[in-house]
Amino acid sequence: MEPKQIREGYLVKKGSVFNTWKAMWVVLLEDGIEFYKKKSDNSPKGMIPLKGSTLMSSCQDFAKRMFVFKITTTKQQDHFFQASFLEERDSWVKDIKRAIKCIEGGQKFARKSTRRSIRLPETIDLGALYLSMRDTERGIKELNLEKDKKVFNHCFTGSCVIDWLVSNKSIRNRQEGLMIASSLLNEGYLQPAGDLSKNAADGIAENPFLDNPDAFYYFPDSGFFCEENSSDDDVILKEEFRGVIIKQGCLLKQGHRRKNWKVRKFVLREDPAYLHYYDPAGGEDPLGAVHLRGCVVTSVESNPDGRKSDEENLFEIITADEVHYFLQAATPKERTEWIKAIQVASRTG
């Protein structure tokens, strides 16, 4: 029997020879991981056996790369993968760990619920706790905080995190809160903002997380940015990033000049409504931005040249300035989700 396919999607993989990072179409099977240069390729570029392999997440080997996890095979070969956002990384990690465990136990793969009580410190589920912290009504409130002539947007203090854990009855005392907050930081659920919190996270302080009103932190998918005294042009640019992130992930995008298709990481923000796209292999600055106010987005069944397309799950964004963007999702469901999200964001201005 063919191995059961568990999960598939775009991830960025570190090369084993030239150490370059490239977007790959990755398929998780019951007994291994296949990775392809393109989704449409018939043969994989490589295969990683899961039997006897170990997985590490979050992987701290690359300081400037977030959401990385590492798979080490029985031959002590390391394979590094980077997801686009936190929830995506956690989903891959959870399924890979489950697949490895099933191989060890001689069982068929089956997903099990990992939800556990966050009221018992010894059995805290950090993923569930993170979702509670992000709750818009009962979670930690994101603020714009000023320090050293800088404004930190969409962040909060270390003291606020511990206060929230105490008030939510997730911990018994503040010392226990430091342990939980440090775990959240180490797993990538929290990120340091500012020199004080960054130095602590780098090991300069006794504890990587600081219960301190001057130590700033942020959620990795919050739209955080820091601004200093800047020109009017910088202010206009930063306005694009003030919106809350409502969706992100990898899609194929057609270039305007060469008409070739490349994998790009897209981040959708609302109020103001912008769709930024990045090189998924690296780089903090976007390659471009689509202002969505007044745009039209629809699914398409033909290529931009009008011919019937062999590619599936295409959709088009037409901006108010009549610029056309052609994108391709991996599945019909993903295309529908992106179209609906963009339509909602476009109404926010």
Which whole number is the average pLDDT over 204-226?
A: 84
Q: How far apart are CA 302 and CA 307, in angstroms?
A: 6
> Is the pLDDT at 348 greater than 90, yes or no?
no
For residue range 262-279, what is the model confidence (pLDDT) as tens digits? 999 999 998 889 999 999
Q: How far apart are CA 177 and CA 183, in angstroms?
A: 10
By the 8 A CB rule, do 221 and 190 touch?
no
Of the candidates 39, 31, 16, 15, the one whose C-alpha atom is nearest the C-alpha of residue 96 is 31
Give the per-residue pLDDT at 21. 93
Of the candidates 142, 186, 179, 145, the one whose C-alpha atom is nearest the C-alpha of residue 162 is 179
The larger pLDDT score, comparing residue 331 to residue 113, is at: 331
For residue range 81-116, what is the model confidence (pLDDT) as tens digits? 999 888 888 889 989 998 998 888 887 776 543 323
By the 8 A CB rule, do 13 and 35 touch?
yes
For residue range 216-252, what is the model confidence (pLDDT) as tens digits? 999 987 777 777 644 444 444 567 777 888 899 999 9
Tell me whether strands 21-29 and 324-328 are parallel, antiparallel or unpaired.
unpaired
For residue range 11-56, what is the model confidence (pLDDT) as tens digits? 999 987 777 999 999 999 999 999 999 888 889 999 999 999 999 8
Tell me whether strands 150-157 and 32-36 are parallel, antiparallel or unpaired.
unpaired
Give the per-residue pLDDT at 308. 45
Q: How far apart are CA 17 and CA 173, in angstroms?
A: 48
> Is the pLDDT at 10 greater than 80, yes or no?
yes
